[in-house]
Amino acid sequence: MSLLEVRSIDARHGLLAAVRAVSLHLEPGERLAIVGANGAGKTTLLRTIAGAHASASGRIVFDGIDISAIPAHRRAALGIALVPEGRRLFASMTVEENLLVARACGRQGPWNIDTVLEAFPQLKPRRKARAGTLSGGEQQATAIGRALMTNPRVLLLDEVSLGLSPLAVDRVYASLQALIRAGTSIVLVEQDLKRAMESSDRIVCMLEGRIVAEGRSGEITRETILQTYFGARTIDALAGGNGAGT
């Protein structure tokens, strides 16, 4: 049985259908990347799984439990954590205070202040710094660390590299190896297609709210994905190795 199953989920923003009949699954310890052009519905899908956005229809099953009608805080208590696009830290609070906020979830596990700072060593000298004074990479590390403080079984990462320098992205991804070694299941929305493919076991491509392609990361090609949601003209324009936007 899959750890997480999304079954024919629809989600809307008013009259706009943002997610349309999406079904996917996530196995224990698996890394799933979701890619697609801007407006494809990726962020809405992650927010719907986390309970931050209500689904219009369909079901979400986590570890055999139908959580479709369960609010976000109870999903977090079950083991689903979302690192939202834009990080959304408490700017006036310190790094440590931002991390401690997540302890209210009450889940037991290996992640605490010490283990989070060990996984993200760039935060150690900034432990008492206010979140609003951090660099983009430090803020992203704090946002991921805050999610880890809930000791999740599934971590939903939305746009990890958005707005970060290449060096900061490298540091964040290097730190994520601790999660992978710990066996945390990860759903990753990533704007850099190359990095998404390198960091995942499977990859799912969305277009206009639907899944239009999927496959094992070692089997599905970058060209196939680009052709699926951009078309041949855009492939030519992007030739040269630039990452695809989401």
- Residue 177: inside a domain, yes or no? yes
Residue 244 contacts residue 191 (beta carbons within 8 Å):
yes
**What is the DSSP track for 170-219?**
HHHHHHHHHHHHHT-EEEEE-S-HHHHHHT-SEEEEEETTEEEEEEETTT
- Residue 135: inside a domain, yes or no? yes
Residue 131 contacts residue 91 (beta carbons within 8 Å):
yes
Give me the sign of the Cα torsion angle 193, 37, 233, 228. positive
- Residue 167: inside a domain, yes or no? yes
Q: Which phi and psi (to 5°) does residue 32 adopt?
A: -115, 125
- Residue 245: inside a domain, yes or no? no
Number of domains in the chain: 1
Residue 112 contacts residue 84 (beta carbons within 8 Å):
no
pTM here is 0.87
pLDDT at residue 230, as a whole number: 62
Element (H, E) at 74: helix 72-78
In CATH, what number is assigned to the domain containing residue 113?
3.40.50.300
pLDDT at residue 234, as a whole number: 41
| Beta strands at 154-158 and 185-189: parallel, antiparallel or unpaired | parallel
Tens place of pLDDT for every residue, the chain, 246 residues?
Answer: 799 999 999 999 999 999 999 999 999 999 999 998 888 999 999 999 999 999 999 999 999 999 999 999 999 999 999 998 877 898 999 999 999 988 877 688 889 999 999 989 999 999 999 999 999 889 989 999 999 999 999 999 998 888 778 888 888 888 888 788 778 899 999 888 888 898 899 999 999 999 999 999 989 888 888 887 665 444 344 344 444 444
Element (H, E) at 25: strand 16-26
Element (H, E) at 10: strand 4-13
- Residue 246: inside a domain, yes or no? no
DSSP type of residue 69:
T
Which residues constitute the domain of residue 183? Answer: 4-238
- Residue 213: inside a domain, yes or no? yes
- Residue 244: inside a domain, yes or no? no
- Residue 181: inside a domain, yes or no? yes
